[in-house]
Amino acid sequence: MSENSSSRVSERAAELRAQLHEASHRYHVLDEPTIVDAEYDALMRELETLEATHPELVTSDSPTQRVGAHPSSAFAEVRHEVPMLSLANAFSEEEVAEFMRRIRDRLDQDISDQGGPLTFSVEPKFDGLAISLRYENGVFVRGATRGDGETGEDVTPNLRTIKSIPLRLHGKAPAVIEVRGEVYMPRAGFEKYNAAARASDGKIKLLINPRNAAAGSLRQLDARITAKRPLAFFAYAVGVVEGGSLPATHSQTLRKLREWGLPVSDLVGTADGVEGCLDYYKRIGAQRDILPFDIDGVVYKLDDLATQRELGFVGRTPRWAIAHKFPAQEQTTTVEAIDINIGRTGAATPTARLKPVFVGGVTVTNATLHNADQVARLDVRVGDTVIVRRAGDVIPEVVRVVAEQPRGAAPWQMPAHCPICGSAIVREEGEVVARCTGGLTCAAQRVQAIFHFAARRAMDIDGLGERYIEDLCDLGYLHSIADLYKLSLADLLEMKRRADERDGTTPETVKAGKVATKWAENLIEAIEHSRRTTLTRFLYSLGIQHVGESTAKALALWFGEIDIIRHLPWPILKLVPDIGGEVARAIDAFFSQDGNQRVIDDLLARGIAITDTHAPAPKLRAKLDFASLLAEVEIPKVTGKRALQIATAIDSFDALLAAKATVLVAIGLPVDTQESLQHYLAQAENRKLLARCARAATQLPAAIPGAASQAAGPLDGQTVVLTGTLVALTRDEAKAKLEALGAKVAGSVSKKTSFVVAGSEAGSKLDKAQELGVDVWDEARLMEFLRGQGS
DNA sequence: CAACCTCGAGTTCA
DNA sequence: CTCGAGGTTG
C-alpha cells in the first residue's frame, strides 16, 4: 500500500468518526436527530470496514468501540452487570446466509456436525428504545436505558408510568431477574398525540416519529410528562438471573416471561435455517405496514442457549444473533425544485422535485407538498435537505427539513400566475387551495378535463393516457372532449409522426418505413366502444365541479334524462338528497355556459348513446310543489314555514312574479320577511331564476306509473363498507352485488355502518370498525351470504 | 350551529 | 389513502 492511500484512509476514518460522534450526540443527548438511521448505519459500516482492513486505525474512542452514547448527566447512572448487547445488521439475504454459514463453520470445528438446520428464535425488531427492568422478589425495583451497553440511565419513575410494564410479576419468577425489552410508541397513540398537538396551535410540540417519541418521552425529567405519552413495552431477553433458572432455549424463555406477566409480542416464533428465517422475514415484512407499531426489521437468535454461550461474542456483538433490517422507510435527500401542478379544477398543488432517493423499496423523485400552508409549515425551500418518508401508505411525503443545513433561497411562495397559461392564481378567502383561474383556456386544465372524461370510471376509453392527450391538444387535433369522436386513424398516425419529429424520438423502424398502427387502431376502437354509456357515467365524465360518481348517480336516478338535467335551475337540483346549495349552483353554472351546452350537443350529435334514460323519480314529483320549491330558492328570511305561508295565498311562481305589492302585504308575513321578499323580487336576475323554476317544474314529465320502484332487497337500509383486497371478486363487483341486494356501499366507516367486509391487507378502515365495534365480515362470510341470496 | 358523515379531488411508482 | 369541505341532523 502506498504512503498516500494509507493517509487518505486514515483521514476518511477520522472524518467518519467525527460525523458519527456528532450524530450520536444529537440523537441521544439532544433528542434532535440530524440524520436518519439508514445513513448512520451506512457511515458506521463504512468505518467498520475501514477499521477491519486497517486495524492500526482503531482508536479507543471510535464509535465502533461502543454501542450508544454518553448518558446525559441528568439521570443517575446504572451499570449493567450483564452488558446490553447490540446486534450486527444484515441488509440482504446473502448477509443472512453468510451469518448462518459462519455459525456452522465455528460449531463444526468444535463439535461434530449434528446435521439438520439450526433452529432460531425469530422476532420483530421493534423500533423503540432498549431498556432493562430489574425485578427483585417479583417486584419492579429499577429500570434503565441501554446507554452505551455498559452504563445506562436510571429512568425508573418514567418506566413506572408505562402500563404494559408489570410492577409485580406473576408466578414463581427468580429472586432477581433483569428483563430486557423495547419501549415503543404504538402508531395509533403517536397519531392521536400529534393530532392533539396540531390542534393546540403550537403549544404542544409535534413528535417527529414514534421511535424518537419513545426515546424523548423516556428521557423526560418529569415523569408526569412521560405519563401523558402513550408508551408500551415488549420483552425479548433476560440479563441477570439469581435464585432461579431459565429454560434451555430462548423461545422457551420468552414463553416463561409471558407467564410471569411480561408482554411478549405474538409475532415471535421459531424458524429453521436460512430458508425458515427468510420466510419469516418476508411474512413479517408483508405485515409491516399494518402492524400497530413500527419495526425496522427482524431478529434471528440461535435458540439453544448452550450453543449461544459456546459461540460467544466479537467485541460487543454476539455471534449467535443478527438483525435483518428492512429497507429504510426514511431517507434524506435534497429538494431540487418546487413546481406547481395544475389539476382538473385548476387546483395549484406544489410538488417537491427531489434528488432521486431509494426509500422503502422504490426510488422516489416527487413528493406532494399539498398546499401553500403545508409548505409554510415545513418551511421547505429549494436546495434544502429534507427527510422523505414512505409511510404506511405508498405515497411519499416530506416529513421535515433537516435543521442545520445550509438553507436554500427565500421562503417558497405560491406563484401569482399559472405557469401553463399565465392566468392569475387565486386563493379564495377561507380556502386552502389556490386555483388557476384560466378555466378551459388553460392547457393543463383542458388536458386534465379530457383525461378525466376518458377515465375508467367515466367514459372508459382505454389507452388514452395523459401523454397522448397532451400531444393531441398541443398539435391541434383536440380542443374539447367532443373532438375525440371525430378523430380518425389517419389523424392519430399523423399526430404521432409530428410529435416524434418534434421530440426527435422517431423510432428507427419508422424511419425504415414501417409504421406502428396497432395502438392507434386500439384507441379508435376504444373510443368507438365508449359511445354506448350510462347517464351516470356521462354526467360524471363531464367533470362538473363537485359532481363525482355518487352525485352523478343521484342526478341520473332523480331526473332520468340528460335533456332534462342540462336545463334545470339550481333550486330544483337542490331537491335531491345530498345535493345542497353549493353543489346545485355548480351544476347550474356548468350548464349555463354556452360552450358546455355546445359540447354536449356535439357529443350527442356524434353518436354518444345514453342507454338508461328513464322518467324522473316519483319521489321528485312529490317535492315539486310551489311551497317546497320556494323554500329551496334561499330568499333571505323565507324559510320552509314562511314559504308554506306564502304558498297558501299565492299558488305559483307565475302568480308570485305577477303579484302586486299590496298582495304581499295581505299575506300576513312579518314586516322584515315582506321587505326581504319585495327586495328579492325587484331584481331581474332573481325573477329570471323564479321563472326558470316555474317552467322546469311544469315541464318535468310525470312519473311512469309503477316503474322504477326497486324490489326490496335483504340488505335494504344497510350501509356496508369494503376494505382490503378481495380474492374472488373485484371491489366493483362486490359493490354491485351488495347494491343489488339493497345495500348502500359507503367509503368510510362510521357508527352508521352496518358491517365492514375486510379482505386481506385491510387497513385503517378495519381498525376503525373494531374501534367502533362494527361487525366485520371476512370474504368467506360475504361469499357465503351472496350464495345464500342466489348470486 | 356543532358534530358527524360523506363525497370529491389529488397523489406516486412500477 | 387522506384531507378538506359540503350536506345533514340533532
Question: Which range is least confidently modeled, A25-29, A242-246, A411-415, A442-446?
Answer: A25-29
Of the pLDDT bands very low, low, confident and very high (cuts 50, 70, 90), residue A182 is very high
Mean pLDDT of the region A576-600: 93
C-alpha cell read off for A270: 421459531
Residue nearest to nucleotide B4 (CA to C1'): A750
Supply the pLDDT for residue A112.
47
pLDDT by residue (tens digit) across A472-523?
Answer: 998 999 988 999 999 999 999 999 888 888 887 777 777 676 777 888 898 9
Helix (H) or strand (E) holding A493: helix A489-503
The residue ranking higher by pLDDT, A254 or A520, is A254
Question: Which range is least confidently modeled, A21-30, A36-45, A435-444?
Answer: A21-30
Supply the pLDDT for residue A739.
79
- CA A592 from chain centre, in angstroms, equals 37
In b/e form, how buried is each residue of A152-187, taking b as 16+ CB within 10 angstroms?
bbbbbebbebbeebbeebeeebbebbbbbbbbbbbb
Q: What is the dihedral of CA A297, A298, A300, A305, to 10 degrees?
A: 120
Which 8-state DSSP code applies to residue A472? H
Query: If you average pLDDT over each of A60-74, A137-151, A208-222, which comes out highest?
Result: A137-151
CB atoms within 10 A of CB A559: 25
3-class DSSP assignment, residue A337: strand
Query: If you average pLDDT over each of A99-108, A112-121, A682-691, A715-724, which comes out highest?
Result: A682-691
The pTM for the full model equals: 0.67
Supply the pLDDT for residue A501.
85
Question: Which range is least confidently modeled, A269-278, A525-534, A710-719?
Answer: A710-719
Residue A1 has pLDDT above 50, yes or no: no
The residue ranking higher by pLDDT, A595 or A211, is A595
N-to-C CA span, chain A: 78
Nucleotide with smallest C1' distance to residue A430 CA: C5
A301 is catalytic: no
Mean pLDDT of the region A391-403: 75
Mean pLDDT of the region A633-641: 87
| Distance in Å, residue A348 CA to nucleotide B10 C1' | 10
Of the pLDDT bands very low, low, confident and very high (cuts 50, 70, 90), residue A6 is low
Supply the pLDDT for residue A782.
85
Of the pLDDT bands very low, low, confident and very high (cuts 50, 70, 90), residue A110 is low
Nucleotide with smallest C1' distance to residue A366 CA: B12
Please state whether strand B lies within 7 Å of residue A545 at its CB atom. yes
Cite the beta strand spans of A360-481 per DSSP E: 362-368, 385-389, 397-401, 425-426, 434-436
DSSP β-bridge partners for residue A400: A387
Instruction: Please tell me the total number of residues recorded for chain A in this structure.
Output: 791
Residue nearest to nucleotide B10 (CA to C1'): A343
Please state whether strand B lies within 7 Å of residue A367 at its CB atom. yes
* Residue type (1 letter), A401: V
Q: How far is residue A17 from each of residues A64, A69, A328, measured CA to CA in Å?
A: 9, 13, 22
Q: Looking up cell 366493483, which residue turns up?
A: A732
pLDDT by residue (tens digit) across A285-343?
Answer: 888 777 888 888 899 999 999 999 988 887 778 889 999 888 767 888 889 999 999 99
Q: How far is residue A614 from each of residues A347, A484, A605, A741, measured CA to CA in Å?
A: 36, 27, 20, 21
- 8 Å CB contact between A173 and A257: no
What distance in Å separates the CA atoms of residue A384 and residue A405, rounded to the nearest whole number?
7
Of the pLDDT bands very low, low, confident and very high (cuts 50, 70, 90), residue A761 is low
Neighbouring residues of A87: CB distance < 8 A, sequence distance ≥ 6 = A299, A317, A318, A321, A322, A323
What mean pLDDT is reported for chain A? 84
